[in-house]
Amino acid sequence: MSTDTRWLDQAVDAALHGPAVDPNPRVGCLVVAADGTVVGRGHHQGAGSPHAEAVALAAAGDRARGATAYVTLEPCNHHGRTGPCTHALRDAGVERVVFAVPDPTPQAAGGADWLRDHGIAVEQHPHRDAEALVADWTVAARLGRPVVVWKAATTLDGRVAAADGSSRWITSAEARADAHLLRARVGAVVVGTGTALRDDPSLTARTAEGELLPDQPLRVVVGRRDLPADARLRTGPGELLHLRTSEPRQVLAELARRGVHRVLLEGGPTLAAAFWRAGCVDEVLVYLAPALLGAGPAGVGDLGIASIEDVARLDLVDVTRVGPDLRLTLVPQAPPRERGARSTPSVGHARPAPPTTTDQRTLAPSPTP
């Protein structure tokens, strides 16, 4: 392992102390003196707070002069809520900067070039863990909208409820706990008014014991129908956003404006089909129960597919056992623009790993991101 990789490992460890869900990416910085002593360490603590470089430089003080800064993300070169990190690095006397991931945003990119132009040695050193930290943020920046994960819980015959409409519970307690961990790792959970009215969900992220997890997603209802005054969605923690539209791109544009990078699409079948037809599904996560219903609503509505020649194919990238159920992680084979989007490229596998619980056996390994 190279020395640069070892220091970037520590920068990634610092970044992990930042909030998992935030409009800004998680970033870590390590300032290392010429003799190999770590003189400063910092991480970004959330939107509006000092960037990781500023925190590390403040800790280093005068010892930053002549040092090397290791940063998980290319230092920003713009004036936002805080000043440019490039200027702070120069003013502190840092002689060398090593970063892992280029900044993909037009307003903040170019930091590496600016530093070089001002006499500072700069190197990009790719680092898989650093890339995974900001995967959603970088992909969302490229897409111009949040990454969308469509989550469903079905029987073997693809039913999400029985013929009488009852659906609690198709999957096991272990699978439900796993899904709650997933909610805690996204910026927003989205359902249609049909699901909200039929199931009266809370859309909170909870432990297996029912305790609220520290990170709660924005809860989003899509559709024009009103919610009852006593709906559970109105009483849960965090913000409830009711978007009175059924157009997926309008929904995602509003969520992007709010700084959301990853969306969990939970239901129902009509809403899922609308997002698919619009080319706005980047990943599919299915909890598959070893059960049969034989009748009842299917997991997805009309996808506009009339012939087997037009069947929607997906790549299976992970199979994990969760209690008695299976969690399948898939990505569409066709790029989103071939499924209705005008200019959206495929996300591929640029995303963090699915949530994990203590009762799982991996049946097939995930591919390398």
And the tokens for 294?
A: 């034989």
To the query of whether residue 266 is one of the catalytic residues in this protein, the response is no
Chain centroid to CA 173: how far?
24
The H or E element that residue 231 is part of is: none
And the tokens for 191?
A: 């359902």
Can you tell me which residue has the tokens 């010892």?
63
* Amino acid type, 271: L
8-state DSSP, 206: B
Can you tell me which residue has the tokens 């129960």?
289
d(CA 179, CA 152): 10
d(CA 288, CA 351): 21
d(CA 141, CA 27): 16
Can you tell me which residue has the tokens 């991996």?
362
Choosing from 53, 74, 266, 283, which is the catalytic residue? 53
* Amino acid type, 43: H
Handedness of CA 333, 338, 339, 343 (dihedral sign): positive
d(CA 76, CA 103): 7
| Nearest residue to 134 (alpha-carbon basis) of 56, 23, 227 | 23
| Nearest residue to 259 (alpha-carbon basis) of 340, 166, 186 | 186
d(CA 238, CA 203): 10
Alpha carbons within 13 angstroms on the beta-carbon side of residue 315 total: 13
The Cα-based distances of 34 to 12, 31, 180, 273 in angstroms read 21, 10, 46, 57
The H or E element that residue 137 is part of is: helix 135-143
Handedness of CA 354, 358, 359, 364 (dihedral sign): positive
Active site residues: 53
